[in-house]
Structures are given as structure tokens and as C-alpha cells.
Amino acid sequence: MRPIYYIRLAALWLGICAVTACNNNDESRLLPTDDSSQFANLTDVVPDAILEIRYYGTYNFVGTRIDGYEQPTALMTKVAADSLRAVSDDVMVLGYRLKIYDAYRPQKGVDHFVRWATNVADTLMKQYFYPDLDKSVLFEQEYIYERSGHTRGSTVDLTLFDMKTEKELDMGGTFDWFGPESHPDFCGNPETGEYTGDNSKSPTGRSITEQQFANRMILRQAMMRHGFKPLDSEWWHFTLKDEPFPDTYFTFPVKQLN
């Protein structure tokens, strides 16, 4: 187990890498602001979206409501919300709706994650979200950062809801699962959409089926068609390529905008 001060140093370095792509740019170029004027209530723009804001409740990897989440709503920059509306219209034709777990995340929420991660004794939700990991490696393996793309307002965590079965589409794993099983290339090639069944990255031999991999690809391809880029470690996470505030992080709370 690493001493706490080593974990804090790791958090600082990894947090900087997360927002600068480790290009040695000065972190001071990132500007904090509480100006929400360029944001929209996501359901005003994407009325078909279903919200399950995990960080407003207690079913999340921390196990408590996260700081800065004052109402169970989702916010995004207006530009990103418009692009997500196009995704929604696209998947509706296929019989799906978008289900949103998280969108804009205030810096206060990110700070809450960092405090939780440094308290390695708090493993309340381990069995649900990181049963195969020791909590002390969450910074080292880049599951927790001091900065998040979500604070820039154009990133969203989501899945698909099947209107025929009235259930979430089976993606073979839960949102916020800490492990290689969440990677888009787990058991397949996301570039070609080919299922390989290769589960060698799983530390405990977990796997997903060909259909579960295909379901992940439906979401991925729809998001990419409308200008979102995926993350290589989370099948549910997408950021608008041409995000309007790449050098800004926001601090206002998550609540309905007037």
C-alpha cells in the first residue's frame, strides 16, 4: 500500500497528464469559471434522453452523493448538446433511446473523487465497481484524476435503452466498472467492429459475448458519426471532438439552469 503523500503526487501528475496529454504544457493555461451561460439543460435539447444521474444518488463507486450534484439533471455545453440530439435522433430509428449517467461534472465533484481515492480504507462499493483491484492503484492505473474532461462540459457518459424490451441494452458490464473489461477493445476490435473473444486482459478471466460487444459498437459508432470521440478505457465515455472550451474547467453546480 502506498503512503498517502505518494498517492497525492501521483494524482497531481496523472491529473495534469489527463488534460494536457502529457505534453508538458503549463497547467495554468486551464481556466476555472462558474459561467454557465453557454450550457443547456440536456433534456431541453434531447427530450428523448433518459436520465439516471449516478453521482446524485448513492449507487456509484463512492457510495454517497457526490459534491456539486444538487439536482438529478444533466448539463452540457450547447454545442455538445446539439450534437447529442443528432445521436439521439439516429438511434431512435434503430429502436433505442439514450440513457445518461453523467454529463457536465463540476470541479467540486472531481475533488470529491480525489479525496475518496486517497482514503484507501473506504471500500464500501468495491464489490460492485472494482472487485478485482486494490484501491491503492486507482491513481496509478489512471482511474482517478485531479482534472476531468467532464468539467469542460462537452463529455458524456451514457448507454442505450432498448425501447422494445424496455431495458438497458446489455453491454456486458456496468457503468464505472474499474477494469480492462470496460475497454472498448475488450474481446474485440473497435476499429473494425470484429468480435475476437480475447479476454486475456481480464485479471480474473471475465468475458463478454459477441452480442454484448456488438451492442457497445452500436453506441460507439452512433456517437462517432456525430462528432464525438471515444475513450480507450471506457465504452460509455465520449467527448465532442470540437469541444468549445478545451482549456476551461467549470465550477458551477449541477442543477437545472433557468
- Tens digits of per-residue pLDDT, 140-151? 999 999 999 999
> Is the pLDDT reported for residue 23 higher than 80?
no
- Please tell me the CATH code under which domain 4-24+38-250 is placed: 3.30.1380.10
Average pLDDT over residues 90-112: 98
pLDDT score of 16: 30
Model pLDDT for residues 48-62, shown as the tens digit of each residue: 999 999 999 999 999
> Is the pLDDT reported for residue 10 higher than 60?
no
For the chain, give every domain's residue range: 4-24+38-250
**Closest by Cα among 33, 41, 48 to 258:** 41
| pLDDT more than 70, % of the chain | 89
Question: Which is it for the CA torsion 110, 114, 115, 120, positive or negative?
Answer: positive
pLDDT score of 28: 52
Q: Which of 142, 191, 234, 243 is catalytic?
A: 234
Whether 234 is catalytic: yes
Given pLDDT bands bounded at 50, 70 and 90, which one contains residue 95?
Answer: very high
pLDDT score of 230: 98
- Mean pLDDT for the chain overall: 91
- In this prediction the pTM is 0.89
Given pLDDT bands bounded at 50, 70 and 90, which one contains residue 245?
Answer: very high
Give the N- to C-terminal CA distance of the chain in Å, as an integer: 47
> Is the pLDDT reported for residue 15 higher than 80?
no
